[in-house]
Amino acid sequence: MSRDPGPSDPSLRYGEFLSAVRVRQRLVSYNRVHEEGRSQARAPQLRLVDLHRLLTPYVSVRFLEQARAVVPLALFLALFQTAALRVAVREGDEIILGMLAVMLGLTLFMDGVKYGLMPFAENIGFKLPGRSPTAVVLAFAFLLGGIATFAEPAIGALRAAGAGLDPARTPWLHLLLTRYPDRLVFAVGAGVGAAVVLGMLRFIYAWRMKTLVIAVLLPCLAASVYAGLDPRLAPILGLAWDCGAVTTGPVTVPLVLALGIGVGAAAGDRDNPLSGFGIVTLASLFPAMAVILVAVGLVAEVPDPGALPALAEVGTAAAWWDQTPVAEMIGALRAIAPLVLLLWLAQRFLLGETLAQRQLIAYGVVTAVLGMSLFNVGLSIGLIPLGDQAGNVVPSAFHAAQGGTPLYPYAFGVGLTLLFAATIGYGATVAEPALNAMGVTVENLTDGAFPRKLLIRAVATGVAMGTALGVAKIIFQWPMLPLLLGAYAVALVCTVLSIDEYVSLAWDSAGVTTGPVTVPLVLALGLGLGKAVGAAEGFGILAMASAGPIISVLAVGLWIRRRSAAEH
Amino acid sequence: MKKRDEIVVLTDAVLITCIVQRGSADAVVDAATEAGAQGATIFYARGTGVRQKHLGVLGITVNAEKEVLYIVAPSDHADHIFERIYVAAHLDTPGMGMLYMMPLEKMATYVPPEVATRFGHHAGRRG
């Protein structure tokens, strides 16, 4: 390459021959390129192939992550419907389109949250606790928890859930969902806010999780007992406890954790390796209580819902289905803008900092809004119809509809339905990316005593049993109260017996499992099922599905402790 | 130096270093091996460059986590390997990484005894 053989030298090095034949290199001095580049500093011209090379790997990894959660679940539902129940899926192409929108929407949304919101939250969580008085931090925590709830993708499903209810049988529940859905969402937001405040206090004062869980759970159960014994309030219980599961999704959890870690660091380090967990726990208990309180207020305020003029209901019911993309965009904007505004205000006025990387944050916010709009579209044409359909046709396995005969003998049909419910619960949980991440953390923190796979299996089994129980509740029209009391009594006993690390872990796993795909699907499934078997309301599956893993994880924790005690 | 302490030291060796995004190294190694490289050493690193300066929002698609490949090749083959890596790693796209090579004064590794003998090395008499 560099040595010139010269005309007098007959020999030629093989390498130089190769260079001459194969390599087409133009040698240019880097010095000159550097000078050139400095004099005209402008962005490089990207060809289409460059865009493809940059974007395709980036997008496909993120899209596949969502697809792994959505596709198996949807396929299973469709297969069960066609194979076991022999009913074809109606509006199949629309549902497929909806599923695509859900996956694409979640992909965009998660990326948007990562770039648009998380840098703020991390910065604020890191700096605010050291710079501001505790009261300010707590106020901010309350607002953050509440407002993040509005931005949770699954909350849209809750707003849409009221349309199929029968106002004559569950008047106040119907009223709350159709006429005052904002109150419901506000109650949930306030509940999450209160939970976040308590979680922060726990970080500051190093309260034990066990004490805190018992102190919060007992009033929640007391409120439930009060509501459950009142026939006007009893149907609301299922919804109230479902709300807890809805709230702890992919927006609230990382935002709140970012703040919590900052607060924990400012308060001094802990000896308990798992103390970072625990906030999510409270965020699924408080909303239940808040919704019950709102319902109590509603019953006092409107003693006779039947007397109210019914004009609003027609509008809401129609709006659920007939939404244009514009409406979805506005909804998404309304969900995300307050959160961005809050974070920006805190950054600007509490920390006195300006934005770094404005372009990236703008990208994040725009992407999040776009993603959420798409997700909402997918929710209403894909996820909810699929769940609703499945719920509608499942009872035909054991229930004779319109004078026909049931497909299977009663006991077998019910068993099949419960197995179906359990499989959905198990499958949805195993696919949840958040649970996998949590499993890795737990395995590291416990030095392998609690392996990742064991955690995932324990949680999934718990969810499966919970889902089956919730479906059984709807089929047999059991009242919610005894189920709740029974499940949480077992959880309480296990909690008292367990050590603090596993208490935080188990109670958190309840919240981690219910992601933005599972929630709408299961909610719609329950409502459809409730309608088909003629139950008063179809809520409660999610509530049971989040109580299940608490018990199963605590039980596994107790078993691990017993085993290691026997070894030593 | 006594003859029985002799070791084989190779000259005319070139070190090719390629820095790509985390996860892309395997494709590059495959291309290099196909072009005649004996093997590669990969380690993880972090790095920044065109991502921040020129790509703007598209910069998020470029991973700051990198893989660095070391490939030592005979100088006769180095240019060929160099070119193949350039193509396989898509280095003509901004943000994909960089590639350089430098001459090595000496390198040593396992050389099959029968090959070494052919070059005058006294096999079997070492240490």
Q: How many domains does chain B have?
A: 1
Contacts (Cβ under 8 Å, ≥6 apart) of A548: A425, A461, A462, A463, A464, A465, A466, A467, A469, A487
Q: Comparing C-alpha atoms, which of A94, A100, A105, A93 is closest to residue A71? A: A100
Residues of B in contact with A46 (CB under 8 A): 58, 93-94
Per the CB < 8 A criterion, the answer to whether B19 and B98 are in contact is yes
Contacts (Cβ under 8 Å, ≥6 apart) of A470: A421, A526, A540, A541, A542, A543, A544, A545
Contacts (Cβ under 8 Å, ≥6 apart) of A230: A299
Select from B93, B96, B98, B102 the residue whose CB has the most chain A CBs within 10 Å, as the one to mutate to test that interface: B93
Contacts (Cβ under 8 Å, ≥6 apart) of B1: none
Whether residue A141 lies inside any domain: the answer is yes
For residue A26, the chain B residue with the least C-alpha distance is B83
Of A22, A53, A363, the CB nearest to B90: A53
**Cα distances (angstroms) measured from residue A441 to each of A249, A451, A459:** 18, 10, 15
SS3 A140: helix
Whether residue B7 lies inside any domain: the answer is no
Whether residue A88 lies inside any domain: the answer is no
The answer to whether the Cβ–Cβ distance between A58 and B57 falls below 8 Å is no
Give the end-to-end CA distance of chain B in Å, rounded to a whole number: 13
B17-75 pLDDT tens trace: 999 998 889 999 999 999 888 889 999 998 877 666 667 777 778 888 899 999 999 99
pLDDT at site A405: 63
pLDDT at site B32: 92
pLDDT at site B86: 92
Range of the domain at A283: 14-37+95-567
Q: Given phi > 0 = left and psi -120 to 50 = alpha, else beta, which region is A357? A: left
- Is the ipTM higher than 0.95? The answer is no
- The identity of residue A192, as a single letter, is V
The answer to whether the Cβ–Cβ distance between B57 and A360 falls below 8 Å is yes
- The identity of residue B44, as a single letter, is Y
**Which H helix or E strand runs over A225?**
helix A209-229
Residues of B in contact with A25 (CB under 8 A): 79, 83
Could you read off the pLDDT tens digit of each residue along chain A, which spans 568 residues? 445 544 555 676 666 666 655 657 788 888 888 787 777 666 667 788 888 888 888 888 888 888 887 888 888 888 887 877 777 777 778 888 888 888 898 888 888 888 888 878 878 877 887 788 888 888 888 888 888 887 776 776 776 666 666 666 777 777 777 777 778 888 888 888 888 888 888 877 777 778 888 888 888 888 888 888 887 788 888 888 888 777 767 777 777 777 777 777 766 655 444 555 666 777 778 888 888 888 888 888 777 666 655 544 444 444 444 455 677 777 788 778 888 888 888 888 887 777 667 778 888 888 888 888 888 888 888 888 888 888 888 777 776 655 556 667 777 878 888 888 888 888 888 877 777 777 877 787 777 778 888 888 888 899 899 888 888 888 888 888 888 888 888 988 888 888 877 887 888 777 766 677 778 888 888 888 887 777 777 788 888 888 888 899 889 888 888 888 887 7
**Cα distances (angstroms) measured from residue A502 to each of A281, A346, A383:** 12, 34, 34
Of B23, B62, B79, the CB nearest to A19: B79
CA A106 – CA A68 distance, rounded (Å): 12
- Structure-block tokens of residue A474: 């709807």
Is the whole-model pTM more than 0.90?
no
pLDDT at site A163: 61
A36 touches B: beta carbon within 8 Å: no
The dihedral over CA atoms of A540, A546, A552, A553, expressed in degrees to the nearest 10, equals -170
SS3 B120: coil
The answer to whether the Cβ–Cβ distance between B56 and A359 falls below 8 Å is yes
pLDDT at site B1: 47
B121 touches A: beta carbon within 8 Å: no
| CATH code of B47's domain | 3.30.70.120
B90 touches A: beta carbon within 8 Å: yes
The answer to whether the Cβ–Cβ distance between A363 and B95 falls below 8 Å is no
pLDDT at site B74: 92
The answer to whether the Cβ–Cβ distance between A54 and B58 falls below 8 Å is yes
For residue A54, the chain B residue with the least C-alpha distance is B61
Whether residue B124 lies inside any domain: the answer is no
A13 touches B: beta carbon within 8 Å: yes
pLDDT at site B30: 93
Taking the CA of residue B127 and the nearest CA in chain A, the distance in Å comes to: 35
B83 touches A: beta carbon within 8 Å: yes
pLDDT at position B102 over 70: yes
pLDDT at site B126: 47
For residue A559, the tally of other CB atoms under 10 A from its CB is 12
The answer to whether the Cβ–Cβ distance between A50 and B55 falls below 8 Å is no
The answer to whether the Cβ–Cβ distance between A15 and B77 falls below 8 Å is yes
The answer to whether the Cβ–Cβ distance between B60 and A115 falls below 8 Å is yes
From chain A residues 109-138, the ones with a CB under 8 A of any chain B CB are 115
- Structure-block tokens of residue A124: 């604020």
CA A66 – CA A54 distance, rounded (Å): 20
pLDDT at site A258: 75
Range of the domain at B100: 13-105
Q: How many domains does chain A have?
A: 1
Per the CB < 8 A criterion, the answer to whether A475 and A531 are in contact is no
Whether residue B1 lies inside any domain: the answer is no
Per the CB < 8 A criterion, the answer to whether A196 and A140 are in contact is no
Taking the CA of residue B122 and the nearest CA in chain A, the distance in Å comes to: 27
B58 touches A: beta carbon within 8 Å: yes
Select from A18, A54, A64, A113 the residue whose CB has the most chain B CBs within 10 Å, as the one to mutate to test that interface: A54
Whether residue B51 lies inside any domain: the answer is yes
Residues of B in contact with A363 (CB under 8 A): 57, 60
In DSSP terms, B104 is beta-bridged to B13
Q: Locate all alpha helices (DSSP H) within A346-498, ordered by sequence.
A: 358-378, 384-393, 410-431, 433-445, 452-475, 480-497
Whether residue A198 lies inside any domain: the answer is yes
pLDDT at site A318: 47
